[in-house]
Structure 1
Amino acid sequence: MANGHKAPDSEYPLAVLIDADNANPNIVNGLLSEVAKLGVASVKRIYGDWTTPNLAGWKSVLLDHSIQPIQQFRYTSGKNATDSAMIIDAMDLLYSGPFKGFCIVSSDSDFTRLASRLREAGKVVYGFGEMKTPKPFVAACDRFIYTEVFTPQSTESEEIATTTSLSKQSSKELRRNAKLLLAIRTGIEAASDDDGWAQLGPVGSYVVKSSPDFDPRNYGYQKFSELIDAIGLFELQRTGSVVHVRDIRRNGSK
């Protein structure tokens, strides 16, 4: 429960579908490591027009990670045939494969309806995209992970732009985040006992359900417990491997 959610079974079969036009090859190691926490990537496919030079960066990593490239020519200028190919394949896999979940890697809002349709069919949908991803696509997923958390720190100006927002936020900054505080407090209230204590796992699960893009790494912290502790408005109590949390206002402290 390092990131505030319950991890699925390690044998959970997943289909990983990557939009090469809207994803950076630098994220591939972190992406597949994250997918491995969620289940088994039984299918790994990446879609794009491989005759164009802009996908050259992806070509060098496909063999290393056994990702199957799917060729999709751009038949008409201004029309994204790659999106259509991904959507058609996803529906084929939905009806023909044993998958429990889908990982859609793109920052494109065109996949919003696909995510909704897969969830309607009882599948878990994990979205992966940049922080610029439109909110409708983020909200359509069970969980959405921003790929900036996979991007190595760099001194290049273009990389600084993507990693600055992931620097560790101070207690003062976190306390100003009303949406985050409300989600945590509501989660604690929903899962707490008579004394106000709640197990951290269910609280994290509630926060993810209310905000699919929640991830402590977005605030610069690796674990949900570290984020809670940094805020300074909650008490943490550890009993072995079990962590409990309580709103500090319950004991009369400010």
Structure 2
Amino acid sequence: MMGALQQQSNGHGHGVLLLAEAGYAEVDPTGRYGRFNEILGKGSSKIVYRGFDEWRGVEVAWNQVRLRDVVRGGGELERFYGEVHLLAALRHRGIVRLHAYWVDAPRRALNFVTELFVSGTLRQYRERHRRVSAAAVRRWCAQILDGLAYLHAHSPPIIHRDLKCDNIFVNGNQGEVKIGDLGLAAFRRGGGHARCVGTPEFMAPEVYDESYDELADVYSFGMCVLEMVTLDYPYSECSNPIQIYKRVISV
């Protein structure tokens, strides 16, 4: 595993020829991973490209965060660093696998390479395949719960804090789902957490009260199941977070 402070250096001459020959836009500092210009996903601060692992001969997801963009975004930089460091320590069949990470100082970018999920997120997958049996949904649920159990079994437990179908990734040809996007994840403190974070539609009542533990993830899982079955976000009838909050605390 490469350290987070390792710097990128493509160089000239042979390095340029290597990029041109392989069709890469850039390579990592070891030369193991190459990035193509094909964009698989894009957020406010992060772009996910298709990449290739030459050592194993498999395609990967090359995640690139432009540091100048996240610095302007306040706590975003801290969130991305937190996700990378946490992923680096996790090894489980139900959690997205991190292969490498490094800082590209000249480009002012944080790069991290993860597994590639050919079918996107569970929300995207469910929208494409609207007719799914209850047995298939149960298999997805079992895998998600397996990943959650792994996170919660840590000492102290790890709380995902933003579990939703947008943050669960799918390899559709294998029926495989894994939990990802751990940018808001945190270790449980002794007295419970006191920070209200997450996606309103999936947040447990105690999260709004700013006093919660890993059981908040179990509530979010229930909302994920509701989304899988109905093909819609929970509380889709609400037009803003305030309305969602009122519905949640009134249950």
- TM-score calculated relative to the size of structure 2: 0.28
- TM-score calculated relative to the size of structure 1: 0.27
- RCO comparison, higher one (Cα < 8 Å, 6+): 1
